[in-house]
Amino acid sequence: MLSLRMTKLLLRRLLETIPVLFILATMAFFMMRAAPGTPFDKEKEVAPHIREAWEKQYGLDQPMLVQYGQFLGVSPRPNGEYRGLLHGDLGVSTTYTGWDVDELMAQKIPISLELGFYSLVIAMLIGVSAGVLAAWRPHTLTDHLPMSLAMLGICLPTFVIGPLLILYFALDLQWFNVSGWTFASDRVLPSLTLGLFYAAYLARLTRGSMLEVRNMDYMRTALAKGVSGWRVYGVHGLRNGILPVISFLGPAAAGLISGSFVVETIFRIPGLGRFFVEAAINRDAMLVIGCALFYATLLVVLNMLAEIVQAAMNPKLRFA
């Protein structure tokens, strides 16, 4: 169980998140309103009275402060309703007529979360295994080879890894589809593209932490008592050596999900990342703000989960 102090810390972090999200939503609102153009610039040329009717429908004909009040929900919308951020309502989309922002996001979030989960599993399996193997015999081939591949993975961004995987596995070997999210096999290449990038960071981080742990007193004591080297290294050492990796997994998991913009665009995946990019291009302010709030909240939740896991594995944190 978590100590009382740890519980208070997590609750305080949660309460501190509320003003941060409010400031983020405010900044996103004014930045989208300050951007040149309107949500209707890509429409066919229409009569001025029709454009005026559209702007009135969405409240875009009002002064900026009035629009901000409608966004928060402290001022009535053009239809007289009080709907806004403070009421848990992000409003309607200007791109997808008749759809609420939360309804649109509810369709896309599961896809991005699924892609992020598969990518995180791949990153952990490859990254942690490569880091442990490299630290097992430092300055040998088993160390230099995985670390060289990890450095290569760090240098290659996802928009390079993705097309290379498509070129070889989809076009040459024809094992997978080039794009889409229909079949189970469609998950493989996008997940590898995201997972390999973060696996490189996890491999180097795991190697460094395991090298520090293997020289500690309790490791030498266990070896002196006759415990097998692999058990000492793979069980006792990994338990403490994995702690820095767990602290990195919080922002890494959020980065996997929020960093899927490029991957979802390359593989034509109908996820929230691609939705976010299209909303920004179409100047759909409410949809952009909703996506930004989701990613920010996700980052906070994942960091808190990483702290809880750390406390569960490290007695010093539980009883501090």
Q: How many CB atoms lie within 10 A of CB 232?
A: 19
Does residue 285 lie in a domain region?
A: yes
| pLDDT band, very low/low/confident/very high, at 83 (cuts 50, 70, 90) | confident
Q: What's the CA gap between 131 and 15, in Å, rounded?
A: 36
Does residue 178 lie in a domain region?
A: yes
| pLDDT band, very low/low/confident/very high, at 228 (cuts 50, 70, 90) | low
CATH number of the domain to which 110 belongs = 1.10.3720.10
Which of 91, 294, 127 has the alpha carbon at shortest distance from 210?
127
Does residue 187 lie in a domain region?
A: yes
**pLDDT digits over 85-113, tens only?**
877 777 777 777 778 888 888 888 888 88
> What spatial distance separates the first Cα and last Cα of the chain, rounded to whole Å?
13
Does residue 208 lie in a domain region?
A: yes
Q: Tally the domains of the chain.
A: 1
| pLDDT band, very low/low/confident/very high, at 155 (cuts 50, 70, 90) | confident
Q: Which structural domain, as residue segments, surrounds residue 184?
A: 102-318
Which of 249, 120, 277 has the alpha carbon at shortest distance from 190?
120
Does residue 195 lie in a domain region?
A: yes
User: What's this model's pTM, rounded to 2 decimal places?
Assistant: 0.78
Burial (Cβ within 10 Å: 0-12, 13-18, ≥19) of residue 230: exposed
Q: Is the pLDDT of residue 242 over 70?
A: yes
Q: What's the CA gap between 137 and 142, in Å, rounded?
A: 7
Does residue 133 lie in a domain region?
A: yes
Q: What's the CA gap between 266 and 303, in Å, rounded?
A: 28
Does residue 132 lie in a domain region?
A: yes
| pLDDT score for 3 | 63
Q: What number is the average pLDDT over the span 112-125?
A: 87
Does residue 155 lie in a domain region?
A: yes
